[in-house]
Amino acid sequence: MTEVYERLRKRLDEMATGYPSTEAGVEIRLLKHLFRPEDAELFLAMSSSEQTPEEIAARKGDDPEDVAQRLEDMAQRGLVFRQRQNGVVRYRAIPFIVGIYEFQINNLNGPMLKDVSEYYLSGLGKSFHSLKTPHLRTIPVNKNLVSEWPVAAYDDAVAIIGSKERIAVAPCLCRKAVRLYGKGCDHSLETCLQFDSFADYYVENSMARYITKDEAMEILKRNEAEGLVIQPSNSQEVEAMCACCPCCCGMLLSLKLFPAPASAVKSNYVCTGNEALCTGCAACVKRCPVDAVEIISEKSNIDLQRCIGCGLCISTCPVSARELVKKSDEKVYTPPETFFDTFARMCEERSGD
């Protein structure tokens, strides 16, 4: 029985952020918690691209109706991604992060979180941070914070929301996980937005609820007021948009440990300040999620090696002494077309192609 889980581990290790082995074997323990042996076999028969149950059944030589039922069961348990289009249902194998783990938002429990934490520290974290291509980007909450136009649509949170047909809001996985430990912060829980096919998947799996564009805009405003960093999926289509706090978010907590977070995040903007206008009130110091600002000689000073271009320090500056400026052309980042294209790019980096 263990053999099928090792094959599943190797398959996951080929995907996106990987799934490395550890001496303690915690990664196998996690897989046994999530996958039945027959689930693992079916996952191993799947492609990283979308396939119908009939296509997967033909590959396995199994009954299409039986495979369809099993795939739907796995989709409802967050083990594969489901997409409905023009009356056709397709399924896709997904990596552990971002994917299987994030889809366990309704199944979080103490033992699972303990294993995930142990695994992150003993192997997964190193794999996660070894890639040049991240899962998320950082964008300003409002294009009015940016001094130079035009702002690309995928860098404009308001434009992203306005372009979507279906929107859902889900609880923040990170804050929910930390609260299960009896810790956490006072930030809102229902903050993360899902769009179109991702919204459908989240709602159909009871992980989120549909909302209107006006409701999404109100959530965006609230997120900004609370000082949450807007991090959409690293793609031009933008399938999801997180609102992260530095107290619970794994991404931001890791970034804060970097000596130069700016080099580890994909953002097309950086903050600058007008020393003549600055009064040294330190509002920007309190708002910065990565400790990039400090008061020196009664003026705020920005460490550009730490600034991730979120713009949170700008929206609350009482004297408008700060603004976001676009990075030079050679440093501007253009994300892949879709989130699954991002996965493909990560796989190429892992394989060295």
Q: What is the pLDDT of residues 232-273, one digit of tens each?
A: 999 999 999 999 998 998 878 888 888 888 888 888 988 888
pLDDT score, position 257: 83
What CATH number is given for 261-331 in this structure? 3.30.70.20
**Which range among 180-189, 209-218, 257-266 has the greatest average pLDDT?**
209-218
Output the six-digit token pair for 335.
């994300």
pLDDT tens-digit readout, 301-330:
999 999 998 889 988 899 989 888 888 888
DSSP designation for 328: P
Average pLDDT, the chain: 90
The answer to whether the bond into 98 is cis (omega within 30° of 0) is yes
pLDDT-derived band at 146 (thresholds 50, 70, 90) equals low
Give the Cα separation of 252 and 244 in Å (integer). Answer: 7
Q: Which H or E run includes 348? A: helix 339-351
Kindly tell me if the per-residue pLDDT of 353 is higher than 60: no
SS3 label, residue 140: coil
Is 212's pLDDT higher than 60? yes
pLDDT at 236: 93
Instruction: Quote the CA–CA distance of 282 and 315 in Å, as a whole number.
Output: 13
148: confidence class by pLDDT, cuts 50, 70, 90: low
Instruction: Round to whole Å and give the CA distance between 285 and 177.
Output: 27
User: Rg (Cα) of the chain, in Å, rounded?
Assistant: 21
pLDDT at position 145 is: 57
Which of the listed ranges 152-166, 183-197, 264-278 does the model predict with the highest average pLDDT?
A: 183-197
Give percent of the chain with pLDDT exceeding 90.
Answer: 65
Q: Which residues of 70-93 are buried (b: 16+ CB within 10 A; e: fewer)?
A: bbeebbebbbbbbbeeeeeebbbb
8 A C-beta contact, residue 323 and residue 145: yes
H helices, E strands: number in the chain: 15, 11
The topology under which CATH files domain 2-128 is: Arc Repressor Mutant, subunit A (1.10.10)
Q: What is the pLDDT of residues 15-70, one digit of tens each?
A: 988 999 999 999 999 999 999 999 999 999 998 789 999 999 998 889 999 999 99
Burial readout 227-255 (b: 16 or more C-beta within 10 A, e: otherwise): bbbbbbbbbbbbbbbbbbbbbbbbbbeeb
Residues 6+ apart with CB under 8 A from 251: 135, 136, 231, 242, 244
What mean pLDDT is predicted for residues 139-148? 65
pTM of the model: 0.92
Domain limits, the chain: 2-128, 143-255, 261-331
The pairing of beta strand 240-244 with beta strand 167-171:
unpaired
Model confidence over 110-135: pLDDT tens digits? 999 999 999 988 988 888 777 888 87
